[in-house]
Structure 1
Amino acid sequence: MNVVSCKYGRMRLLIGVVWLLSAVVVFGSCSRLEMDGKHNQRVLVKQQQRAMEKTQEVITAIQNNNINALHSLSERDDNIMFFVYRGNDVIYWSDAWLNSSGLPFKRVYDQWVFKQWNNAYGICRRTRFDDYFVLVIIPVKYDYTITSPQLHNTFLEPFRGNDNWTLTAHQGDSEHYYPVYSDDGSFLFSISDIPDDAPYSVSSFADRSFSYQSIFTSGEREDNTLNLKLQIYYFLTIVFFVILAAVAIYWLVRYRGFRNMRLGGKFQLVLVSLLSVVFISNFVLSVVYIRKMFVTRQEYGIEKKAQYVQNALQNLYFWDLELSPANTPSLNVDLRDLCYAYETDIHVYDMDGMLIGSSSPQLFDQGILSRFISPEPFFGNSTRVQYEHIGDVKYLTAYTEFYNGGYVQIGYIALPYFISQDQVDANVDNYVVWLLPLYLVLLLLTILVIWIIARILSTSLGAISKNLQSYRLGEKGTHIDYFFNDEVGDLVHHYNDMMDALAESSERLARTEREAAWRTMARQVAHEINNSLTPMRLTLQQLQRLKGTDRFDQYFDRSTQVLIDQTDNLSNIASSFSSFAKMPEVQVVPVNIARKLFSVITLFQNNNASVPIRYIGAETGVWAMTDEQQISQVFNNLIKNALQAIEGIAEGDIIIILKETKQEVVISVSDNGCGIAADVRDKVFHPNFTTKNNGMGLGLAISKNIIEGSGGDISFVTSDEGTTFYVHLLPAEPPVSPS
């Protein structure tokens, strides 16, 4: 069984090899002429079918007197032309590039015949109905007697072949001829690879024509420097984008996809990709726009020239009622003079659409141009600038009416203008040669900025992630969901772990802190009370010893004052803790903060004449939102602290400044003392903290509560040269007095 299968498999393999070799041999034996000939045979049959369908549609349109249907048929891009005749007069034509010298085979109807016109080969067929007949033409290949690097005798689409091949009515029997037959099997023509006679020289045409010079010249560019620059710029651009693509692919492979890339890499990849797309799109659109604007400017220029020529011809033929062949000699001379004046060729057609005069009649004599006017301006009754073509070369033509002095139309004026592809490309290249380097430099700078920003973001987020691994917060938080494995993902992961740990200890920590605070408070109160009770006890004991002696009365007066002072101190201690524990709620109202501050400063200046207290600000009229009663206590505490900070300094100085903006009111109290030590700066606003031998350390804590209760903020800046406290309050409008 296996042996049989193996044999069949080898046989199939052998058959396949033989078939492949046969196909190669057959294919290699087929010449280019034969391959293209077979293709053209198939295409011709299809074109004949389309031509017959179009003929029937033309007949229907004429019978229905539907000229619009004829226009629609003319606009089809199928390279099938048709002419409509009534007797010997042409009444409609679908295109005007074919140069024909008359009707072909006048008595031949309803059969395809081969025809060589002045500028093309093709086949045609005449169909008669009523007083009309339709000539439908299938052009196959251009046959201009004059060629140039721009003008070639190519095969028309959808036919194909070598430009040097010829079409002939001779049915040759050698390998240099390939016969082509009609759809009914009759012979039409042969395609021959034997070159035709050499074309005529084009130098005379180039010298005597303005608009068509670029067709008959070499068309080679002379600016090799510009070409070299463009090649270098394009090469650098391609290399640049290849490097970008390689880097992007490397990142994606290294991190195994976009999802696992670091945040900085994602940021750079996305932005650089978008920037590249924008760059390429903008560059392409700019080039397209420049190309379009160049053509638009040329169209506008040829339209203006057409108007000038129209006015000039109107003056020259002011009294003419019509144009006829009798006008041709003089008209050609006038058109030649005008073409030198306006540097453009000029053609004039009569009211039947036939050429009546030209500044370059040799173009029509040699079969380069047709003597028919283009059907669009003639049958469409519209003047326009449109594209026409000679072979595969397109050019612009502006059409306008030919009026006499009475503004009666006696013909049509056509001004051709050839915009060569070299002209358009040169204009675009001049634009690209400075635009492309600018775009590349801007793109490089933008990518550099993106890299720097991404680097900063990645480094910053990485540092935050690292710090949070060892940091513990004293408040409860919630989990954060994040689905990417980048720096932010690491940050979220550590944050969630930290929240789990804090959830277990937050309640215990809060309870411990409250107990520690109360113990600290109790020790402080006990310490301060003991400081006052000790001198009181010693005084009373001394009074007991001196009772009944002569010194009792003298010591009694002195002791009572000591006892009163210590009692007052105990009262102050109780009042301070009571004030801190039971501070009244802050009542926020509009307050004339300047007047409050100035009155407190004046009080201190009167009682501390030896210390200069300088004030910079308004004495009244500055309003802020705060507690009218308690704000004075804040100012008292700040000024007292400043006075205590400059004790022992020979040139002590205190500066108080009041500033008002639209957003806030700022009061600053500055001294030139020795500043606050770095190790105690975080405790300045804590209750019971003080750096002085006397005092309870509650002044700044009370001040902070008052300011924050007013919706403001209090802070300080300190150094070895002094300390400045800042109070920020919200501004307020003065209250309206009742009338």
Structure 2
Amino acid sequence: MLLLGICCFITAISLRNSITKKDLLLHEANELQENLLARERIIYDYLTFPSKLEDLKKFSVDENLANNFTSAYRPAGINVLVYRNNQLEYWSTYKAVPKNVDRLKDGTSFVLLSNGYYELVKKTLGEYMFVFIVTVKTQYAIENQYLKNEIWPGLFNNNTLEIASFTDKETTEIFSLSKDYLFTVKLSNNYTDNIFTSAELWLWLVGTLFVSLFVNSCGLWLAKHGKVLLGTLLVAVYFIAFRILDLKYFWFNHQFDLKIFDPTIYAESDFLPSLGDLLLNVLAFTWIWIFVYAHRKMYVLPNWIAKIKVVNYILFALIALLLSWVGFLTENLFFGLVYYSKIEFNISNIINLGWVSWLSIFILCLVWLNIYLMINAIVVLMKQFAVGAREKLFVFLLIVLGFTIYKIATDYTVFYLVYALLIFMVAYNNHMQNSRFSISVMAVVFLCMATITSIKYIRFEDVKERNTRAGIADKLMYQDDPKVMNAIELLEHGLTLDSQVVSYFKQPLLIQTTNFHNYISKNYLDGYLSRFEYKMFEYNSSDQSLKSAESLPISKYKNLVKYGAVKAQQANYFYRVNDTFGFQNYFGIIPVFDGGNLLGTMVVELTSRPYDYNTLFPDLLIDGKLKSDEDLSKYSLAFYKENQLFSQSGSYVYPMVNTYFKGERDRIEFMNEYTADYSYSHAVYKPANNRLVVISLEKVDFTVRLATLSFFFLIFIIFGIFAYIIVWLVINISDSRGGIFNINRYLMINANKILYKTRIQFSIVLSVVATLVIVGWTTFFNIKSQYLEQQTEQVREKVRKVQLAYEKQIALAGTISNNSEAQFEFNQFADVNGIYLNLYDINGNLYLTTLPRIYDLGIIGRKMGPTAYMQLAVQQKSEFINPSEKIGTFSYAAAYAPVRNADNQTIAYISIPYYSNEEDYQARIGLFINTLINIYALVFVLIGVLAVFLANQITSPLTFIQENIRRTKLGQANQPLVWHRQDEIGVLIKEYNKMIAELEISANKLARSERESAWREMAKQVAHEIKNPLTPLKLGVQLLEKSWREKDPNFEKKFASFNKSFVEQIDSLATIASEFSNFAKMPDTKLEHIALVPIIEQAKEVFSSMDHVEIHILNRSNVELLVLGDKDQLLRSFNNLLKNAIEAADGKEKCVIKIHIANDEKQAFVEVEDNGKGIDPSLHSSIFRANFTTKSSGTGLGLAFVKQAIENAGGKVEFTSVLNNGTIFYLSFPLV
């Protein structure tokens, strides 16, 4: 893996160094060139085929042909203009209509229009002229979220190139299909990547993963060989060093321009400079804690820590402090994610959560995973303490109580109580259930995590929002709005260069002041400055008013400048009145020159209207760099002067006379108001003794809090499921059973092992979820279609009313004109109806508009939408609604209708652009989806709880029967079950009771038969064993009798010899009798709680004094091993095993016996290993048989006794043996 990682690094470095900027430029320009040529080929395909040229001529009268072209080629950025006799007859777009196309040469040309760069392909054919337009780059006068100056993404989507100027270096040229020069491109100034950047990034990531896996495998190897602390230290040092070095040198941030490392999104400290660094930090600690968790049972505390209670209590307190510090750290981390970032955490608006928000939620899930793993590892480690479980619980509750008292005295929060409950549930699952998976326990754990997260989320959002309100209060009083400054700068610049202004000052008597003011209003005071009320005054070069008798003397404004007005930022002639309250007041003293001669002075005074932040369209005309991050639409504002309401805005109803809101000078005070109908939070700011500003916000209600809790609960459950699946896959793929086929087979096998209870739970949840999804999906589409129909109907009704009203106005006027008076009347008509209006002549040219700025800036052309024109002019429709018109990326709806005169002749077309259509639609649909998701999240949680409850209720009888069947044993008295209901369970229990009665009879018969068979075999063995010593006894007596009869002189000597032999044979008979007697007593087992290790040590003492025998006990247990067994039987069993091991080593220089002792949560394990001669493989199946032995002397009952004794204690005994190398016996006992 290390080699693979190094190879990935080398390859990544090679890729970075293998391409220069020039190579990159040529590569990117090549792609742009090919895309442009592909569009040219499409165009020339049209121009070279006569049939297609004939189709082009019919576009103005055949809607189907025109629509087919538009739908096929507009997505590729290809549009067409059809001229006949130099008159534009058809246009497929109104965004780009070049002037003087007759001066263009036939063929390809490249032009800059008012809103971008375009490639034009022209062909003249008789009276027809066809101009194809290919969008190359959008170039708007202003740039914002809707209007972006870039090479059109449909042509080239890499955002790596810009159109170069003549002064730029390192450029390359783009040519047409006919090799005509079009334009020059260069690399974007902010572009740092190359064509291999993605591959390079992935190589670094994969290489880092491989190196991390190598370090992890080294740690695993060390842990496997008993050096778990060293392995853990290796892994921890590697990841911590990796993160410290990256934080010091910002390697990832500098190498790759990734948005995730942008500090403007999130930055909290030197250790958390970006969201990407936070993610890497959390991933590093997650890896470390996973390693610790995987080896949690291998960490062994020294005896001076584990066995001394005082040290245990001190360590317990330190662990409590550690966990408290981790909770505090997690709290601060979450606070930083909410407070020190621009991350949108609006859980009530789930549909609009961006990828950054979801990434932050994922990081939060990883943090909780770290805490869960850490608590588990600590709890397992604390099992080695000499302190009992009850003592641990008492100390834990004592610490929680002390901490609660401390928090009550300082700043009480329920966070630490829920956090303590989380720790308790994890500890409970470890101690009481031995880490067995429990749905109820995990549900409580996830609920604790969700409760803590939702509480802190609401709290931190409240802190951040309060800070926002404090900033708003400060801005309302003193600071200039950047949007206003930008708009004022544009206003000032426009007025100083406008020829209409100069004309008015030259001949003020010929132009009506009202018309002039209307001209200024619609051309300069639209957009963002429409939020201001305005006054305009004109003065000659002698500072005398030109016309209006109501004009204020110009000296008033000059005195304001002299005595305290503040000059507006970025402006030369505008000032802000300093002493205002509840509104903003600007004025500009603008000199009007004509060729250097001063004609006069124009004063424009702007006074802000009541704060209303609900308009959207002016943002289309505001520079995106000045867009504010604050959304003030949710606030209500009030300004009090001398405790009298001066002005207000928003939904909250403020009292006319203030007796409720109190504040301190130059401080912001927060207060809450609760009533039966609503609850509000008020920020009260007192900039002066007689002035008060109140900013109010409706508080989060209980349903939102509940929805937040259910959302996080659902997120943590989903994350937990995915984490479990990943762990399962890693374990099974790394295992010898790995492979897709084996995993599938494993899943199929385990599918049949799923509990009936689980099947019921899954079926309930799945059926309800499926129903909710179907209902929700159907409801969503129904609501969506209904709202679209409702919007369309409202627009249709509006356009009909406007059409009729304007036709009446035309009938009174007699005709339509586009002079200043007509423009003024058109504006008044639009203002009365509260809408924007456009008026087009019968050729589709813009005639009048209430929003001239959008056309003056060249954002769109002065033509009617082609589809609308075809519908009204060609198809003669009475109205047309286009729900998907676009300005840049800004979508809106527009309604069109013909305007008829008294003779019912169409003389114009009127259009209502419904700019807020898309915003209203998104807001309503978003609100519906968010409400649906929040409700469904809560329902899913409740259904999950209900499913568990119902499944437990349904399966409780089966569980009851299962437990009784588990306790059913042959040879014991089994109690019948009692069930009072006459249902299916009652029938089953009746059959069970009948079965155990018959089973008891069968068991008695079987026991009797087995006893008879066993004693029959035993009798044979006893007879055989007794014959062995009786034969030499009989022969000895016969020989002794013969010697006595024959008066053998050696009789005494033979007698002594025979006497010794007789005693030995009699001892052998006694031994046989004793062995069989002991074996016969096996059923008389006395079970009690006994410590296993002392018994082993006692058995060792019996044989350790023998020569040439070494017995070693290796105890790796971390708790006292208590088992339920017969002490005498277990001692004799270990004696037998050690005796056999010593006898098996006969003939070897030294007998070495190793006894390994270990344990897990459920069992104790003992291995008895010798270096004897081993057991022949052919004899393995007979080794535990009662009458089997491999020795010349012996009963063959030793190992049979061991097996019976171990099984009486509920354990198991197995062995492995290698001939001439030794034997290992494996014993396991269930712990009590």
TM-score of the aligned structures, taking structure 1 as reference length: 0.54
8 Å contact from structure 2 (residues 159, 188) kept in 1: no
Match of 1:269 among 746, 762, 765: 762
1:317 to partner: Cα distance: 0.5
Match of 1:174 among 160, 163, 169: 169
DSSP-derived class of the 2:18 partner? helix
Partner of 2:620: 215
Match of 2:77 among 46, 62, 79: 79
Give the distance between the partners of 2:24 and 2:828, measured in 1 at CA.
50
Q: Which runs of 5+ in 1 are unaligned?
A: 1-9, 472-486, 506-739
Give the distance between the partners of 2:759 and 2:726, measured in 1 at CA.
13
DSSP-derived class of the 1:157 partner? coil
Match of 2:924 among 427, 433, 440: 427
| Cα separation, partners in 2 of 1:61 and 1:428, compared to 1, 3 Å | closer
Once the two structures are overlaid, the 10-residue window that deviates more, 201-210 or 224-233, is: 224-233
8 Å contact from structure 2 (residues 711, 937) kept in 1: no
Partner of 1:25: 17
8 Å contact from structure 2 (residues 146, 887) kept in 1: no
8 Å contact from structure 2 (residues 835, 912) kept in 1: yes
2:804 equivalent to 1:307? no
2:857 equivalent to 1:366? yes
8 Å contact from structure 1 (residues 43, 158) kept in 2: no
Give the distance between the partners of 1:166 and 1:247, measured in 2 at CA.
48
Give the distance between the partners of 1:155 and 1:282, measured in 2 at CA.
44
DSSP-derived class of the 1:114 partner? strand
Once the two structures are overlaid, the 10-residue window that deviates more, 350-359 or 398-407, is: 398-407
Between the two proteins, what is the percent identity of the paired residues? 17
2:80 maps to a residue whose letter is: F
Give the distance between the partners of 1:226 and 1:389, measured in 2 at CA.
36
Deviations 1:4-31 (A, max 9, x none): xxxxxx9xxx999998765432346468
Deviations 1:249-307 (A, max 9, x none): 99999996222111111111233234344445655665666555555444333222212
1:184 to partner: Cα distance: 2.7
8 Å contact from structure 2 (residues 172, 185) kept in 1: yes
1:246 to partner: Cα distance: 6.2
2:114 maps to a residue whose letter is: N
Deviations 1:181-210 (A, max 9, x none): 2123322012346889x9984975333598
TM-score of the aligned structures, taking structure 2 as reference length: 0.34
8 Å contact from structure 2 (residues 711, 938) kept in 1: no
2:256 equivalent to 1:260? no
1:369 to partner: Cα distance: 2.3
What is the correspondence of 1:693-708 to structure 2 with a 5 Å cutoff? none
Deviations 1:422-480 (A, max 9, x none): 65554345445544443233222222222122112222234457789999xxxxxxxxx
Match of 1:95 among 89, 93, 96: 93
2:894 equivalent to 1:397? yes
The alignment's C-alpha RMSD in Å is 4.8
Match of 2:146 among 137, 143, 150: 150
DSSP-derived class of the 1:112 partner? strand
1:64 to partner: Cα distance: 6.6
DSSP-derived class of the 2:753 partner? coil
2:236 equivalent to 1:238? no
2:877 equivalent to 1:384? no
| Cα separation, partners in 2 of 1:427 and 1:15, compared to 1, 3 Å | closer
2:54 equivalent to 1:60? yes
8 Å contact from structure 1 (residues 350, 356) kept in 2: yes
Give the distance between the partners of 1:172 and 1:148, measured in 2 at CA.
27
DSSP-derived class of the 2:146 partner? coil
Give the distance between the partners of 1:194 and 1:243, measured in 2 at CA.
44
DSSP-derived class of the 1:339 partner? helix
Match of 1:407 among 904, 908, 911: 904
Partner of 1:336: 827
8 Å contact from structure 2 (residues 80, 133) kept in 1: yes
Give the distance between the partners of 1:395 and 1:212, measured in 2 at CA.
10
2:183 equivalent to 1:186? no
8 Å contact from structure 1 (residues 85, 134) kept in 2: yes
| Cα separation, partners in 2 of 1:151 and 1:353, compared to 1, 3 Å | same
Match of 1:50 among 31, 42, 55: 42
| Cα separation, partners in 2 of 1:434 and 1:73, compared to 1, 3 Å | closer
Match of 1:113 among 109, 114, 130: 109
1:94 maps to a residue whose letter is: S
Give the distance between the partners of 1:289 and 1:33, measured in 2 at CA.
50
DSSP-derived class of the 2:750 partner? coil
Match of 1:160 among 156, 180, 185: 156
8 Å contact from structure 2 (residues 28, 161) kept in 1: no
**What count of residue pairs does the alignment treat as equivalent?**
468
DSSP-derived class of the 2:154 partner? coil
| Cα separation, partners in 2 of 1:159 and 1:247, compared to 1, 3 Å | same
Give the distance between the partners of 2:529 and 2:46, measured in 1 at CA.
42
Partner of 2:135: 139
Give the distance between the partners of 2:14 and 2:966, measured in 1 at CA.
76
DSSP-derived class of the 1:150 partner? coil
Deviations 1:39-60 (A, max 9, x none): 3222111111122234456513
Once the two structures are overlaid, the 10-residue window that deviates more, 284-293 or 298-307, is: 284-293
What is the correspondence of 1:490-639 to structure 2 with a 5 Å cutoff? none
Deviations 1:555-596 (A, max 9, x none): xxxxxxxxxxxxxxxxxxxxxxxxxxxxxxxxxxxxxxxxxx
Larger gyration radius, structure 1 or structure 2: 1
8 Å contact from structure 1 (residues 322, 410) kept in 2: no
Partner of 2:848: 357
Match of 1:41 among 9, 14, 33: 33
Partner of 2:1222: none
DSSP-derived class of the 1:317 partner? helix
Give the distance between the partners of 1:248 and 1:158, measured in 2 at CA.
40
2:617 equivalent to 1:124? no
Partner of 2:466: none
What is the correspondence of 1:443-482 to structure 2 with a 5 Å cutoff? 443-463=940-960
DSSP-derived class of the 1:457 partner? helix
1:352 maps to a residue whose letter is: N
2:79 maps to a residue whose letter is: M
8 Å contact from structure 2 (residues 758, 951) kept in 1: yes
8 Å contact from structure 1 (residues 331, 358) kept in 2: no
8 Å contact from structure 1 (residues 402, 412) kept in 2: yes
Give the distance between the partners of 1:195 and 1:29, measured in 2 at CA.
12
Give the distance between the partners of 2:185 and 2:709, measured in 1 at CA.
45
Partner of 1:206: 528
| Cα separation, partners in 2 of 1:205 and 1:403, compared to 1, 3 Å | same
| Cα separation, partners in 2 of 1:412 and 1:33, compared to 1, 3 Å | farther
1:351 to partner: Cα distance: 1.0
8 Å contact from structure 1 (residues 226, 433) kept in 2: no
8 Å contact from structure 1 (residues 79, 157) kept in 2: no
8 Å contact from structure 1 (residues 319, 404) kept in 2: no
1:174 maps to a residue whose letter is: K
DSSP-derived class of the 1:158 partner? coil
